[in-house]
Structure formats: C-alpha cells, structure tokens
A and B are shown apart, each in its own frame.
Chain A
Amino acid sequence: MRSYLPLYRDALLLTLRIGWQGVLLALILGIVCAAILQMRVPVLRTIVVIYVELFRNTPLLVQLFFLYFALPKIGIRMTPEMCGTLGLGLIGGAYMSETFRSGLDSIAPIQEESAVSLGMSRSQAFRYVILPQAVSSSVPGLVANVIFLLKETSVFSTISLMDLMFTAKDLIGMYAKTLECLTLLVIFYLIMLLPVSILGSVLERRMRYAEFGD
C-alpha cells in the first residue's frame, strides 16, 4: 500500500492544480456574469442567461466530452489539462454566477442609490459598495460551489487526466486491491476537501459584517 502513496500524492497535486485553476476561472466568470445580469447590459445579458442555463443543465462529463472529443472535429484542439480547467471553469462559472446573483439581490437597492448620490458612477458603486457586500453574503454558497467543483474533478479521469480517480482505477486494474485503493481514494479526497470546508466556515464567520439591521 505504501508504494501507492507517491502515486496518490502526484494525483492529488494534479487534481488540486486543475481544480484551483478551474475554481479561479469559475469565480471570475461568475462575477462577470452576475455583474452583467445585475447591470442589465443589453445583448450580453441574453448571452449570459443562455450560457448559465446551458451549463447548469448539462453534466460536466458531457461538457468535457464535448470539449475533448467534439471540438477537435472543428479544429479546436486542447490538452486534457486545458479541457479540464476550461470545463470546470465553465460549469463553475454558471453556478457561481447564480450564487453571486442571489448575493447581489440581497443588497438593498438604496445602497446603490446612496453610492451614486455621493457622485459615484454605477460601476464605482458596484465595485466599492455592492460587490464587497454581495461577496460576503455569498460566501456560504461560494464555499459549497468550490467543494462541489473540486469533487467534480473526479470525472477528469475520462479524458485521460491522471487525477485521483484515474489513479485509483488504474491501481485497481493492475493489482485488484479494490478496498485498499478506494479507501485511499476517500482519504485523499478528504485531505483535499476538509481544509476547504474548515476554511469556508472560518470565512463565513469572518465576513458577517454584511449583516443588516441595528
């Protein structure tokens, strides 16, 4: 069993790398999309709605297959790692934008009014007043999304990325130590995700300042 550990460790590092790249992309996409929806930018708004519905309502596995197997047919070729990052970023962006949007909805319109009445432009009001509050009230949802996305990396194995799931399947195939390999798999997912959960609860407690009322 001990000889498997370096393999699992490498797989964990790869999963983490792609996972965090994907999460980062998802966060950026999510903020941009939520801002477009919130500011009711014409045309772009429709595109965002279509994008969100498309990616929220199809499985990541199908999206990955599309990126990895279908796009090369029209000449768009990407490495498995790029596909993984992009796939995770795209589905995550759709979820994050919904989470940010509900965070933005929770901010009273008068916050923007008092910001613009101080002479701020709408984008300044968004950046300095609305967004920080929306982010802090979105934290619980965002943490849940991050955990969900990091777990979803388990489908990367299907596009031949040597992530945790791939490694476990590979080892089971070679040595047939199903119980041991799967137990290790569970342990390694926990190693990856428990810190995220704990960090999430700390963040939630730290960012309670957006609570309203006296």
Chain B
Amino acid sequence: MGKDNTILEISHLHKAYGDHVVLDDVSLTVQQGEVVVIIGPSGCGKSTLLRCINALEDIQGGQILLEGNEVRQDSKLISQMRQKIGMVFQSYDLFPHKTVLDNITLAPVKVQKRPKSEAEEEALELLQRVGLEERKDDYPRQLSGGQKQRVAIVRALCMHPEILLLDEITAALDPEMVREVLDVVLSLARAGRTMLIVTHEMSFARAIADRVLFLENGGIVEESTDPEAFFRQPSTERAAQFLHTFDYEKPVKESREAKGTDRMELAEEP
C-alpha cells in the first residue's frame, strides 16, 4: 500500500503518568480501510493508546500524525482533528439530557454548522441501519446497554470521521447484547471503514481484524497481518500465554475427565 493511503501514523509514542510509564516507544500506522485490532492484558496501555490518538491524554514523547497533521492536545486545530477521529467508549456516554436524535445531531449542528434538517436526515438513516430508528425520541436511560452503544456508534459516524476508535465497546454489556453491537461493527468493516479496535472479544477480533497487535506492558509485543494464524499459533510466548487465558477447552476437558473418574469410583462402591 502506498504512503498516500496512510491515515494514522504514530511514531515512538511515549506516555507516562509521573514515573509510571504506560506506553513506551509505540509505533503504528493505519492505512485507509484497514481494521486494526489491539489486544492485550488489562493495564497494558491499549485504552490509553486510543485516548492519546484522540488527544484526550497528553503525551510525553513521539508523534501522532493524522493525515499528515500532528495531533497535539494544545493544538489550535485539535477540535477539527477530533472531528476526523470518531471515538466510542466502553460506557457509551450518551448525553443523558438529550434524546437519541439530539445526541447524534448535537455535534454535527453545533460543531460542523450543518443544517439541523440535514443532520437529522442522516441520523435517521444511520439509526435505521442499526435498527433503532423507532427509538429516536427516547432518552438514553430508556435504552438497553446494547442499544445505547449502537447509538454511540451512530453518533460518532454522523460526524463523518476518517477513522473510528472503539475502546472496549462491549466490555460493559450483558453477554446477550454483545452480538448486536459487534454485528454493527462488522458491517462497518465490510463497508471499508478504517477502525482501530481495542477488545477482549477474541473470536470477534479474529473475524474482523486485518491486522492484530498484541500489546503488553506499554509496548507492541507482536504484530500480525494474518489474524487466523495469530490466533491459532502466535509467534511469541507472551501472546500465546495471553490467548491461553481465553481458552476454556483444555481446562474443561481436564475437569470432565476428573469428574468422570470420580463417578466411576462412586458407581463401583456399593
């Protein structure tokens, strides 16, 4: 892929809270249309990385370029740059005092100065695509977690971002609602949307990723452009160990075998 297709370029990113280093020399580029999934243990810095890209955190070293322009917290253009970076958080964070429709159209109208009717038209179309057009006049508290998260995705999309950052968007959801949200993300991926996704849903990561990054202790330990191969057999020991914690087959099999022998013993007794 040519250099022209690069949307996001992070080089030697360094982020620390005082003495505590969260991200250490992280470099990463994302091409247009690419879906990059970041996995790693809790506290490895994956969410912080997304927050840095959006300049919600200041950085202590390195550089973040969005379409060639530097993203800096103190930049005068930061609001314009953030419009190009859609972000969806774990806890949805819809505005509780606004209806679904107003949640979505607030920024397009106030920030991008688009006519309200046009923004509403687009919002309704997007809501329809995620199956929520009938909930447009509801308040967030009337929605389920999965519905709120779908609205949050629509809210980000309505700003026409160049890249979407998804920060563990299913982590706070009840299991039966995870699917409806992930289906929306899958359809976005199919439509060619550029995304950087932090998730704990390994089978989802495997299905959606063009590229997988394994992050640990603030650094990229392993990077793979073949997610199938990565999830089957990662090349680093640490990634293998991490993936192993999501694997229930072996322990379940072992415990079944143990139970089996127990029963046999009991059966033999009388």
Within 8 A of A (CB), among B58-98: 79-80, 82-83, 85-87, 89, 91, 93, 95-97
For residue A114, CB closer than 8 A to chain B, the reply is yes
Main secondary structure of the interface of A (DSSP, over half): helix
Question: Are B111 and A124 in contact, with the CB atoms below 8 A?
Answer: yes
Bits for A89-122, please: 1 = Cβ < 8 Å to B, else 0: 0000000000000000000101101111111110
Say how far B105's CB is from chain A's closest CB, in angstroms: 11
Bits for B98-111, please: 1 = Cβ < 8 Å to A, else 0: 00000000110011
Question: Are B144 and A114 in contact, with the CB atoms below 8 A?
Answer: no
For residue A141, CB closer than 8 A to chain B, the reply is no
Say how far B190's CB is from chain A's closest CB, in angstroms: 25
Question: Are B56 and A113 in contact, with the CB atoms below 8 A?
Answer: yes
For residue B54, CB closer than 8 A to chain A, the reply is yes
Give the interface residue-count category, chain B. Answer: 20 to 34
Chain A residue total in the interface (Cβ 8 A): 24
Question: Are B87 and A114 in contact, with the CB atoms below 8 A?
Answer: yes
Question: Are B96 and A118 in contact, with the CB atoms below 8 A?
Answer: no
Say how far B124's CB is from chain A's closest CB, in angstroms: 18
Given known A-B contacts A128-B106, A209-B139, A211-B141, A117 and B82 have beta carbons under 8 A apart: yes
Question: Are A133 and B97 in contact, with the CB atoms below 8 A?
Answer: yes
Chain B residue numbers with a CB within 8 Å of A110 are 89, 91, 93
Chain B residue numbers with a CB within 8 Å of A120 are 79, 107, 110-111
For residue B233, CB closer than 8 A to chain A, the reply is no
Say how far A20's CB is from chain B's closest CB, in angstroms: 26
Question: Are A118 and B141 in contact, with the CB atoms below 8 A?
Answer: no
Chain B residue numbers with a CB within 8 Å of A114 are 87, 89, 93, 95, 152
Bits for A114-148, please: 1 = Cβ < 8 Å to B, else 0: 11111111001000110011001000000000000
List chain A positions with a Cβ less than 8 A from chain B: 108, 110-111, 113-121, 124, 128-129, 132-133, 136, 209-214
